[in-house]
Copies of this chain bind each other. A is one copy, B any other.
Amino acid sequence: MKTTRLRKFHQAKWDEPIIFELTKKGERGLLISEAEKEIEESIGDGISALPDKMKRKKAPGLPEISQMRVLKHYLRLSQQCLGADLNVDIGQGTCTMKYSPKINEILIRSPKVTELHPLQDESTVQGALEIIYKLDTFLREISGLSQFSLQPGGGSSAIFAMASIIRAYHEANGEAEQRDEIITTIFSHPSDAAAAASKGYKIITIFQDKDGLPDVESLKNAVSNKTAGLLITNPEDTGIFNPRIAEFTRIIHDAGGLCGYDQANANGILGITRAKEADFDLCFFNLHKTFSSPHGCGGPAVGALGVTKRLINYLPVPIVGFDGEKYFLNYNLPRSIGKVRGFLGVFPVILRAYAWIMSLGALGLKEAASIAVLNNNYILNKVKQIHGASAPYAKGRHRIEQVRYSWEKLTEETGISTEEISCRMADFGFHLWSSHHPFIVPQPFTIEPTESYSKDEIDEYISALNEVAKEAYQNPEKVKNSPHNSVVHKIDNSTLDNPEKWAITWRAYLKKNKIKE
């Protein structure tokens, strides 16, 4: 395989202490507003109003650090972090690390966004409500469903909301107790199983057939009058589109269940295929994935939750309505599950998604999807040529937006694991994420290029993968001892699962290691 120039990379390494180690008595980071003299005269110190037992006796053990030093600390830490803006972020498959346009950041930083209180009078937030309403209508078009709630704080929260609606629906039909099973698939996101289980459901997991697709026969065996519903990702983490998806929904519907579509990542199918055509009752999109809101080290986020007409009354309150003149909050959903997050959801994320859609339009969305798929299949073609790598399932077929690959052969032949390869990839400035458990695909790795990276960048990534695979055969120690060019070296994970040793806070670390500050 022709390889591209490998970057001579080294990550910024500041060897920065823990923030507490920077403390120096008498330093301060910020001047705080104090009460005016007249207030002090009128009220006293304010604290005397507290009963003694409610007073804090000793100031919290926070560090004392001057402002510039605090700034410097966090700036340095920031440099020690990749991020889609900095790297070719295609190795965190299932995460849709696409470009988050900077103009959208300018928009959300407006005081017209940041300084809004969620309980303001409707007349004072018409702009915000308009954005929420319009994004809802856009998502209706994109999914074919009838109404969205933008309240859930992430995809998993949206899944929980779907499970809650499914339960409320069966409750309304008096079948809630009987229908206590949710069906999902092993290549659906873990939250499809976990969030439904949190709602009290028993989980039935359908495993893949030899093509890597959820086995229809298993599904048929699984359904019964206990079936509450289906929660399924499609394309699943394998990137294979389930062509029998409509059969799945039919089987569930026939059994009296509802179908929830996990479209957290719909990045390959925008404008191509929709929840409606596959006959889903519910679906959700992660605005922080497909719709380009940045991931923020893990949120804040929005899982935009859509339903068909008959389920609108079950949505969390409020939703935003429009009476032809004014936008308003609609609490009048008689069967509402209540709420899944405080207030109205994460408005900045909603606004970014709105802006992203407005900058692309219908054709642009479809182009984004198409190029994401093009990029993915281009990579598939290349990875298959890397010695030791493979793309299990669906041989000879194309994939949608991502592929779950395997280093099984390489591990067998060299003893080098996905995790070790992932460490070595860091030396080239790349992420390679090992994906979620359970590792059905042995030594898995998942690549999802999205539409955002240029061919040259993709080629560079592949070259690095190829190089590391080669090293695994030729110089395995180099891979084993990696990373070499990163902030830190091989981490001792042994303490992290040991209650005697783990340290989730600095104070716990000091105690457990008997260090005096």
Q: Which of B15, B68, B71, B453 contacts A9 (CB 8 A)?
A: B15
Binary B-proximity of A442-467 (CB < 8 A = 1, otherwise 0) = 00000000001111110000000000
B12/A99 in contact, CB under 8 A: no
B24/A13 in contact, CB under 8 A: no
B101/A72 in contact, CB under 8 A: no
A452 contact set on B, CB distance < 8 A:
68
Identical chains in the assembly: 2
Tell yes or no: A429 within 8 A of B by CB: yes
B457/A69 in contact, CB under 8 A: yes
Binary B-proximity of A17-44 (CB < 8 A = 1, otherwise 0) = 0000010100100010000000000000
A11 contact set on B, CB distance < 8 A:
10, 12
Q: Which of B14, B429, B453 contacts A429 (CB 8 A)?
A: B14
Residues of A that sit less than 8 Å from B by CB: 7-15, 22, 24, 27, 31, 66-69, 71-72, 75-76, 79, 85-87, 99, 101-102, 359, 429, 452-457, 485
- Closest CB-CB distance, A450 to chain B, in whole Å? 10
The residue on B at minimum CB distance from A359 is B31
A85 CA to B10 CA, complexed, in Å = 21
A132 CA to B493 CA, complexed, in Å = 58
7 CB-based A-B contacts, threshold 8 Å: A7-B14, A9-B14, A10-B12, A66-B454, A72-B85, A76-B86, A79-B86
A454/B12 in contact, CB under 8 A: no
B102/A71 in contact, CB under 8 A: yes
A31 CA to B359 CA, complexed, in Å = 9
Contact A86 B67, CB 8 Å, known A8-B15, A9-B15, A429-B14: no
A99 contact set on B, CB distance < 8 A:
67-68
Q: Which of B13, B67, B72 contacts A10 (CB 8 A)?
A: B13
A359 contact set on B, CB distance < 8 A:
31
A87 contact set on B, CB distance < 8 A:
72
A367 CA to B275 CA, complexed, in Å = 66
B12/A8 in contact, CB under 8 A: no
Listed residue (A24, A72, A79) with the most chain B CB atoms within 10 angstroms of its CB: A72
A72 contact set on B, CB distance < 8 A:
85-87
- Closest CB-CB distance, A488 to chain B, in whole Å? 10
Q: Which 10 A-B pairs have the closest CB atoms?
A: A12-B12, A68-B99, A10-B13, A8-B15, A7-B15, A10-B10, A68-B452, A79-B79, A75-B85, A75-B86
- Closest CB-CB distance, A111 to chain B, in whole Å? 10
The residue on B at minimum CB distance from A17 is B5
A287 CA to B485 CA, complexed, in Å = 40
A67 contact set on B, CB distance < 8 A:
99, 101
- Closest CB-CB distance, A489 to chain B, in whole Å? 10
- Closest CB-CB distance, A67 to chain B, in whole Å? 7
The residue on B at minimum CB distance from A31 is B359
